[in-house]
């Protein structure tokens, strides 16, 4: 489809990853990262980034011992995404697929850009 071609040619998903990593490096402790996504591919990247960076990501196996990783660089403000209300969707039908995810920056040092992917 045209949309898939556009996403690939413009490297849109990679740009989201780069933007999230840059925001992590630039935000001061207590700073808020708020990301609105409109596609499941975009939302998956944002969700995974915040889960990994907040320490909320699942372990690979419950039988494997837990290994200490880097200190969390974000804390989740809200575990679930904020979705548009029915009234917002009625006013703006394009808002129906929007998801807002929010994280608050901790004082832990930012992880290197290579690890953000």
Domains of the chain (ranges; CATH) run 2-57+70-116 (3.40.50.150)
Q: Are 110 and 71 in contact (CB under 8 A)?
A: no
Tell me how far apart the alpha carbons of residues 16 and 42 are, in angstroms, rounded to a whole number.
Answer: 7
Mean pLDDT in residue range 99-108: 97
DSSP 62: S
Q: Are 102 and 78 in contact (CB under 8 A)?
A: yes
Q: What are phi and psi of 28, to 5 degrees?
A: -85, 160
Please write the tens of the pLDDT for every residue from 2-40.
Answer: 778 878 787 878 899 999 999 999 999 999 999 999 999
Q: Pull the structure tokens for residue 7.
A: 């996403």
- Give the residue from 102, 37, 42, 35 showing the smallest Cα distance to 74: 102
- Whether 55 shows a pLDDT value over 50: the answer reads yes
Q: Residue 55: CB partners within 8 Å, gap ≥ 6?
A: 69, 72
Q: What are phi and psi of 34, to 5 degrees?
A: -120, 125
- Whether 112 shows a pLDDT value over 80: the answer reads no
Q: What pLDDT shows up at residue 72?
A: 93
- pTM equals 0.83
């Amino acid at each position: 489809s045209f949309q898939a071609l556009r996403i690939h040619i413009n490297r849109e998903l990679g740009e989201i990853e780069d933007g999230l990593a840059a925001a992590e490096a630039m935000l001061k402790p207590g700073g808020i990262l708020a990301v609105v996504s409109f596609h499941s591919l975009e939302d998956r990247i944002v969700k995974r980034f915040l889960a990994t960076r907040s320490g909320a990501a699942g372990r690979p196996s419950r039988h494997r011992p837990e290994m200490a990783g880097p200190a969390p660089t974000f804390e989740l403000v809200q575990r679930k995404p904020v979705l548009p209300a029915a009234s917002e969707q009625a006013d703006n039908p394009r808002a129906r697929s929007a998801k807002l995810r929010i994280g608050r920056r901790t004082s832990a040092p930012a992880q290197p850009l290579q690890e953000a992917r």
